[in-house]
């Protein structure tokens, strides 16, 4: 499935207006469709072409023509992707390597799976007067936005591994972008990356997935087995999420977001970090980041993360009578 097929979701509301407003002429329908998709007025030539496609019974083709408008990339797609890039789900956050990669992938009709898997990132073209991509800041993408660069023409694909220092085998599309690392690997325990990936790309939070019938053997030491002195809370609540989340979030055990907490508490000048083969974290004695072993005294008999081997305990749903 290509990214453009996913973007067809953006057109469904607009196309539904056409089916409801059957009395409108094709030009009026074309204007409604273009306004909903691109958010700006269409040129006369574009409207006429879209109207002709509508008259010919080709509404999807008409919608794709509206997608050729530069505003579709700089506004519609940016608003579409930007909430995925930050914990607050703010649609007005600055352009960054995460949102730019989604925009570029849509333009190039990339297989959507590559968004979460490929060694790729979209950057501004070399011919543009922009600061170079820097793994420690967002200046490159801020300049793209400040200079009102046409993102339909101004982006080009390259490899993440050539820019951010990760080996190609450790890249995972937007999940290992600087923007994602800054938000979801920032401090904490890396569980945020798992949760927000569910929310952004599987359209679900943890609540619908809760299942306290799963084994608790992979829940880490930082989760108390008797919060507030009541083990029932762990069995009925905590374990419902952690039994599935912790073995899946183990996939991120070698990743971190590194910055100077004292001088830069919000991590504006940080960069994604990854413990490659042969690297040893001084706190864990393995490649696993120290954050996976924090608060280990909460339940010393809990799971001690040894590597990044992950397992999906949620593949089978509990049997309902």
Give me the DSSP letters along 24-76: S-HHHHHHHHHHHHHSSPPPHHHHHHHHHHHHTT-HHHHHHHHTTSHHIIIII
The pLDDT of residue 28 is 93
C-alpha 22/C-alpha 311 separation (Å) is 51
Cα–Cα distance for residue pair 73/206, rounded to 1 Å: 31
Give the pLDDT confidence score for residue 321 in this predicted structure.
42
Q: For the segment 202-230, what is each residue's pLDDT rounded down to a tens digit?
A: 999 999 999 999 999 999 999 999 999 99
Residue 18 has pLDDT above 60, yes or no: no
> What's the average model confidence in pLDDT over 34-59?
94
The closest of 23, 106, 103 to 64, measured between CA atoms, is: 106
Conformation bin of residue 89: beta by default, left when phi > 0, alpha when psi is -120 to 50: left
- Is residue 253 within 8 A of residue 288, CB to CB? The reply is yes
Per-residue pLDDT tens over the stretch 252-289: 999 999 999 999 999 999 999 999 999 999 999 999 99
Can you give the pTM of this predicted structure? 0.90
Residues 289-308: pLDDT tens digits? 999 999 999 999 999 999 99
Stretch 69-96: mean pLDDT: 96
∠ CA 124-74-259, nearest 5°, is 55
Strands (E), the chain: 121-124, 155-158, 255-258, 271-274
> Sign of the CA dihedral 198, 204, 205, 210?
negative
Q: What is the pLDDT of residue 316?
A: 73
Answer whether 183's CB lies under 8 Å from 87's CB. Answer: yes
The answer to whether residue 51 scores a pLDDT higher than 50 is yes
User: Cβ(179)–Cβ(99) under 8 Å?
Assistant: yes
- What is the distance between the terminal CA atoms of the chain, rounded to a whole angstrom? 36
pLDDT of residue 315: 86
Mean residue pLDDT across the chain: 92
pLDDT over threshold 60, residue 12 = no
**Quick one: which of 303, 310, 188 has its CA closest to 249?**
310
- Average pLDDT estimate for 37-41: 92
Q: Are 253 and 292 in contact (CB under 8 A)?
A: yes
Q: Which of the four pLDDT bands, split at 50, 70 and 90, describes residue 162?
A: very high
CA nearest to 218, candidates 289, 285, 308 = 308
């Amino acid at each position: 499935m290509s990214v453009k097929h996913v973007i067809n979701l953006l057109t469904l509301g607009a196309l539904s207006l056409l089916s409801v407003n059957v009395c409108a002429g094709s030009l009026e329908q074309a204007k409604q469709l273009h306004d909903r998709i691109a958010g700006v007025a269409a040129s006369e030539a574009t409207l006429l072409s879209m109207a002709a496609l509508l008259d010919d019974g080709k509404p999807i083709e008409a919608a794709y023509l509206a997608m050729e408008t530069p505003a579709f990339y700089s506004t519609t797609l940016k608003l579409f992707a930007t909430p995925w890039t930050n914990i607050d789900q703010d649609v007005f956050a600055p352009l960054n390597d995460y949102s730019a990669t989604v925009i570029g992938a849509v333009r190039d009709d990339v297989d959507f799976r590559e968004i979460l898997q490929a060694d790729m990132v979209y950057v501004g073209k070399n011919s543009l007067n922009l600061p170079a991509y820097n793994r420690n800041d967002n200046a490159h993408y801020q300049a793209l936005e400040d200079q009102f660069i046409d993102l339909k023409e101004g982006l080009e694909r390259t490899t993440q591994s050539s820019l951010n220092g990760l080996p190609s085998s450790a890249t995972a599309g937007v999940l290992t972008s600087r923007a994602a690392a800054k938000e979801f690997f920032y401090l904490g325990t890396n569980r945020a990356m798992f949760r927000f990936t569910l929310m952004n790309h599987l359209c679900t939070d943890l609540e619908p997935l809760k299942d306290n019938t799963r084994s608790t053997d992979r829940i880490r030491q930082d989760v108390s087995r008797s919060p507030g002195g009541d083990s029932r809370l762990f069995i009925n609540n905590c374990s419902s999420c952690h039994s599935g989340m912790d073995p899946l979030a183990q996939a991120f055990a070698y990743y971190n977001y590194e910055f100077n907490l004292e001088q830069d508490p919000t991590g504006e000048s940080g960069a994604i970090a990854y413990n490659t083969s042969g690297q040893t974290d001084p706190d864990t004695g393995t490649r696993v980041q120290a954050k996976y072993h924090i608060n280990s005294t909460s339940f010393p008999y809990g799971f001690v993360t040894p590597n990044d081997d992950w397992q999906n305990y949620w593949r089978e749903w509990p049997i309902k009578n």
